[in-house]
Amino acid sequence: MASDPLDWDHLQIFLAVARQGQMLEAGRRLGLNHATVARRLSGLEAALGTALFHRRPNGSVLTEAGERLMPVAERIEAEILAATARMRAEEAEPSGTVRIGAPDGLGNLFLARELGALARRHANLVIELVPLPRSFSLSRREADLAIGLDRPAHGRLILSKLSDYSLGVYAARSYLDRAGTPRTPHDLARHAAVIGVDDYSYAQALDYTAFLEAAARVFRCAGAVGQFEAVRSGAGIGILHDFAAAGCAELVRILPETRFRRSYWLMSHPDTHEARRIAACRDFLARRFREERDRFLPP
C-alpha cells in the first residue's frame, strides 16, 4: 500500500532541507545519512507528482510547489509540537532539551552560570545555551527561547520583558595610570577606545558605540565579551554592561554622567510555550532577572 504523501517523517525531511538549504546539513540535524534524506525526499516528490526543490551544486532551493507546501508543513509541525507539549506538560519533572539563544554578553557573563545551576537542579533537563551576537528565529526552530534587545514589531511570538539594564563608560586602572582619566566626553579625542564592529551589530539597540568614535585611536572588536576583555586588559576605554563590570576590580567607571539604558526581551513560540521543559526555563529566567534587578539596573 502506498504511503500517505504527507507522511510526517517525509515532511520533517522536507522542512529540514528547506530550512538548511542542504541535504547533508538537514540529514545531520535529523540524524540521517544523505542517501536516506535524498530517497525520502524523492519519494515525497513522487507521491505529490511535482518537484519540491531545485537541486544545485551549492544547495537546494524551493520550487514554486515547494513554496506552496512550506506553510502546510509548518502548520502540521506546529500541531504536532503543540500536542506533544500538552502531553508533556502533565509530567511532574521537566525533561528534554531546551535551546536558549541570547546575546553573547548576557549569555557568557550571566546566563552560563545561572542556567548551569538550573541544569543541576533537573537531571532530565538538557539546556543548550547559545550565546552569540545574532538574532534567533523561533519559527525556524533555531531556539526554543530567545532573549533579544529589540522588541519585535511583528511575528507570532509570546513576548515578555525580562529587565531593563544599564551600561557605562569604563577603563582599566592600568590604562588610566598610563593615559590619564578623561573628565568630559570631549577628552575622549585624546584616548584609545574599544568599540564594536558595525557589520556584526545585530540589534538597533546597540547604537551607543557612536559615543566613542571620536577617540584618537579605535580598536574594533565584535561581541560584548571580546570588548569586555579588551577594556579590562587596558586596550582602551569602552562601554560595558554595568552588571558585568561591577564584579571586576580592574575596571573603573569614568564619565559617570554618561549612562545607557536598554532592555532584555524574552521570546517563545506559541506552539511550544506551555511545554513543561520550556515553561520551567522561562519561569526560572523571569524569577532570576526579577531577583537581580538592582544588579542589571543599579541605582
* Whether residue 184 has pLDDT greater than 50: yes
Question: Rounded to an integer, what distance in angstroms lies between the CA atom of residue 202 and that of residue 225?
Answer: 15
Q: What is the C-alpha separation between 248 and 125, in angstroms, rounded?
A: 32
Q: Which of 226, 236, 224 is nearest to 193 (CA)?
A: 236
The pLDDT of residue 11 is above 50: yes
One domain for residues 204 and 229:
yes
Helix (H, G, I), strand (E, B) or coil at 280: helix
Q: Are 284 and 149 contained in the same domain?
A: yes
On the question of pLDDT at 91 being above 90, the answer is: no
**Number of independent structural domains in the chain:** 3
Q: What is the pLDDT of residue 254?
A: 96
Tell whether 172 and 250 lie within a shared domain: yes
- 71 and 142: one domain? no
* Mean pLDDT, the chain, integer: 88
Decide if 49 is inside a domain.
Answer: yes
Residue 152 lies in a domain: yes
pTM for the model: 0.67
* Same-domain check for residues 229 and 240: yes
**What 3-state DSSP class applies to 103?**
coil
Residue 111 lies in a domain: yes
pLDDT of the residue at 194? 94
Q: What pLDDT does 299 receive?
A: 80
Q: Is the pLDDT of residue 9 over 50?
A: yes
Mean local confidence (pLDDT), 234-256: 94
| 158 and 126 together in one domain | yes
Q: Give the tens place of pLDDT for each residue, 185-216.
A: 999 999 999 998 876 665 655 667 778 888 88
Burial of 54 (0-12, 13-18, 19+ CB in 10 A): exposed
What was the pLDDT predicted at 95? 84
Q: Point out the domain boundary residue: 88, 114, 141.
A: 88
Q: Are residues 19 and 83 in the same domain?
A: yes
Q: CA 136 to CA 144: how far, in whole Å? A: 9
Residue 2 lies in a domain: no
- Portion of the chain with pLDDT greater than 70, in percent: 90
CATH, residue 38:
1.10.10.10
Question: Which pLDDT band, with edges at 50, 70 and 90, does 39 fall under?
Answer: very high
pLDDT > 90 in the chain, percent = 59
Residue 1, in any domain of the structure: no
- Of the residues 56, 88, 120, the one at which a domain ends: 88
- Residue 1 — pLDDT band, cuts 50, 70, 90? very low
For residue 115, what are the domain limits? 96-163+264-296
